[in-house]
Amino acid sequence: MQISVYISATLRAFVNKQAKIEIEGETVREILQHLQDEYPESKNALFDENGALRPFVSVYLNDTRISTDGAWDSSVRENDTVLLLPSIAGGAPVGSVISDERRKEVSLDDSEIERFNKHLMLREIGVKGQKRIKAAKVLIIGLGALGAPVVQYLAAAGVGTIGIADSGEVSLGDLQSQVIHGTRDVHRPKIASARDSIKAINPKIKIDTFSENLDADNIGDIIADYDIVVDCTDNYRTRYLISDACALSGKPEVFGAVYQFEGQVSVFDAKSGPCFRCQFPSPPPVGLVPTCASSGIINTLPGIIGSIQANEVLKLIIGGGESLTGKLLVVDTWNNRTSIVNVQKDENCPVCGRNPSITEIENFDYEDFCGLKPDEDEIPVEGIEAEELVRRIEKGDPLTLVDVREPHERAIHRFPNAIVIPIGQLARRQKELDPDVDTIFICREGKRSILAINTLREAGYKGPMYNLKGGIEAAKNIIFSHEGAWL
């Protein structure tokens, strides 16, 4: 029978540039052999000198990866499809996202020639590259630790139009790593502080500001006028929202993420490689993976990762260099290790795959996808306010306090009478709890403690359990400044 064989873009040169070929065969092995017979050049591309499939090539039968030839003798059925998918090498020289027409529309005055003279001396940039930088429009979403260096370096580089989006205010704790803000900016909107910093660096830059929360209704309009979107956010909901919007609108997204001592950078561009969903199909359960806010971060890391993001943006604008499209750069600053892994385009991706199920940003429920909506079938978790917890402790009510935070978090604020039980140990250590006494679960933001309670419920624990609402972060001004503070 005839089976449809789909050929990934990087292999099409070996099959007369065809994306889909109809091949006769009863098994995957026969299909691959007939493919080689019909297109002899494909043999060296797919197999090594010993006849083994090259490591960078994956063979899929429908939705199942069968790259080990032990499964190639399975019979195929009518309407089955075979996909040949190599690892996307990435790193190829990139073309500029700025057309020659747009470049020719701008000019550099004498002050700009002096300001950007070090760029002009570089053969790879020169006058044409600097004019492209001036013509470019870049949107930076998130003005925290990553957004700070991205904004600063792109402003200093002379990007003509910079959009900045953030709905938050500067806090004192932000100043350790968010170097675009200063002490005088505490309690100011981040976009106001960032706008002042950009103007101080380069007053000729056009600045667009967006203070509203991003959602499916406004993301499309916000990114519409920009050439590149830079994701400097710190939550999964917004990351998927940004990536989907970029993939559907054909815009490149420069992604960055940081955690403790490790950071990641990639360029997701659905037109020429994978999107964010290809690498990360779904987020972890809410509260399971700690954030930077709950686990800390060395303050130099965002500067390193943000600078690499800015560098990727400039390469996309100028054209040339090796792009991180189809690659993920991982940097471990504590152990001085870096690695680059290939990111495959997922042909079954719901956004950029062969048969996408998400075709409009409005159709997708990001709150539900990221686990931010309560499960209607799940028993609600009861919470207790910090004021009530203080009252009950001072009254001498029998309580069991369980702290599920990481050790370094407890070094800042701790309850000396709390039992310390990491979430992963709760099920086997439930006998340490008294089912006749109220148990209060404590974490930093009140999310992991909810996960802890649900974990114990699944393990069969029947005692009364309560979540400290908002966690330590919401309660610290009440509990730890109290006359009988428990530090």
Which of the residues are catalytic?
292, 443
Buried b (16+ CB within 10 A) or exposed e, 383-420: bbebeebbeebeeeeebbbbbbbbeebbeebbbeebee
Pairing of strands 228-231, 137-141: parallel
Tokens of 301: 């890391």
Pairing between β-strand 137-141 and β-strand 161-165 as defined by DSSP bridges: parallel
Start-to-end CA distance of the chain, whole Å, equals 74
Amino acid identity, residue 25?
G
- Is residue 293 classed as helix, strand or coil in its secondary structure? helix
Torsional sign, CA 318, 320, 321, 322: positive
Helices (H), 126-229: 126-135, 147-157, 190-201, 219-223
Which among 166, 269, 268, 161 has a CA at the least distance from the CA of 206? Answer: 161
Do 423 and 447 contact (CB within 8 A), yes or no?
Answer: no
Within a 10 A sphere around the Cβ of 52, how many other Cβ atoms?
A: 10
Q: Which parts of 55-211 are beta strand (E)? A: 57-61, 64-65, 81-86, 137-141, 161-165, 206-210
Tokens standing for 473? 């972060």
CA 113 to chain centre: 37
431/171 Cα distance (integer angstroms): 41
Q: Which two tokens stand for residue 414?
A: 């701790």
Structural contact between residues 276 and 255, judged by C-beta atoms closer than 8 angstroms: yes
Q: Write the CA distances from 293 to 177, 237, 249, 264, 413, integer angstroms.
A: 12, 16, 32, 17, 14
DSSP secondary-structure letter at 297?
A: B
CA atoms of 439 and 463, how far apart (whole Å) = 8
**CA-CA distance, 43 to 220, in Å (whole number)?**
44
- Distance separating alpha carbons of residues 79 and 62, to the nearest angstrom: 9
